[in-house]
Structure 1
Amino acid sequence: MKRIRLTDPGHPDFARAWRLYKESFPVDERRRLNSHRRIMLRSIYHFDVVMDHNVFIGILLWWDFESVRYIEHLAVVPTLRGMQHGERILRHFLSESDMPVWLEVEPPDNELRNRRVGFYRRVGFTLNEHDYTQPAYEKSSQPVPLLVMTYPEAITEPDIRFFCRQYHPLLTDYSLAGA
């Protein structure tokens, strides 16, 4: 299994990765294509397609911040779900660095969301019950109340506040000045 970082929407693998992205995440939890075109140019942002024996199996979109690796989106091709590809992608990602890893999940208030939280727990993530809101990725979107899961350990309320103060401006810099 390997990840290929894309920096150009003209890359041959981008179209299928973009379809998976749009199919896998609600509109308020994703960026538009024009925003992605700009954000993909940032050195700290990674739009990775995941291949296994030359077969496209998923995407991993993440940020390499100073003090944390932040997974913005992870998705596996629907016909390949339930085959441990997501777990393999995450375990490989976690093995690459000693930095803490954060990701967001919807509150586990139904069966699908519970399964999603369970999946991340099996990989070693901790669900943090602190109040958290994902910033609006687009000016026309709304912020989304979510929860944060972290690896390798739990975080505190001040950690959440620091993350929001330090990194949310980078996630929501709609103009991406200095990209």
Structure 2
Amino acid sequence: MIELIPVNIVEDAVKTLYEDAFPLEERRPWDQQLALVATGKLQLLRINRDHDYAGFIFYWSLPAFSFIEHFAIHPDKRGGGAGTQVMQVMEARLKQIVLEVEPPITEQAIRRIKFYERLGYQTFPEPYQQPAYYPQFAPLDLHLMQKGLSPAAADFISIRDQLYKYVYNK
């Protein structure tokens, strides 16, 4: 059984998985992450599987959609449809979701994109760059995917501009 529990106190297990699951250039400095959670701008859900810690989701509630910024399930808790169950709960809660994925150039990135496509997510064809979290890194070439957006809300430029404004302060 999967449970998603809102939390505002970040456990060490979340930090460890965050650092293990995402390379430095794909994650915000930890002190900034904690500050955003503390202010309520960035939401944190603890994922439990059979009442044990299994992972996390960091997401933003933006004016036109919700943006899942980081989602990870601990390797020991993967399988058996855990990721699918988590996303189904998120979709029921949030309705309109946007997320970033790496370009389909590695086996892992291709698997991740196919996972979201099986759930009904669609990739925007326009090029997208995630602003760098650190000054020593260049922006990342990524893709945006969405599910549940109305045709009027699914405007790439508007979505990109909201992400840049609220998530990346650009």
Q: By the TM > 0.5 criterion, same fold? A: yes
User: Which amino acid counterpart does residue 20 of structure 2 have in structure 1?
Assistant: E
Say which SS state the counterpart of residue 85 (structure 2) adopts: helix
1:84 match: 81
Distance (Å, rounded) in 1 between the aligned partners of 2:44 and 2:35 = 12
User: Which amino acid counterpart does residue 87 of structure 2 have in structure 1?
Assistant: L
User: Which amino acid counterpart does residue 137 of structure 1 have in structure 2?
Assistant: Y
1:165 match: 161
Q: How far apart are 1:43 and its partner, in Å?
A: 2.6
1:6 match: 7
Q: Give structure 2 stretches of 5+ with no counterpart.
A: none
Matched, 1:45 2:46: no
CA 1:154–1:82 in structure 2 vs 1: closer, same or farther (change >3 Å)?
farther
Distance (Å, rounded) in 2 between the aligned partners of 1:97 and 1:61 = 13
Q: Give structure 1 stretches of 5+ with no counterpart.
A: 175-179
1:66 match: 63
CA deviation map 1:80-128 (0-9, x unaligned) = 2232111100011101133x21001111122221111111111111122
1:177 match: none
Q: Normalised by the size of structure 1, how large is the TM-score? A: 0.84
Aligned length: 168
Percent identity over paired residues: 24
Matched, 1:29 2:30: no
Say which SS state the counterpart of residue 9 (structure 2) adopts: coil
Asked whether the equivalents of residues 138 and 172 of structure 1 are also in contact (C-alpha less than 8 Å), the reply is no
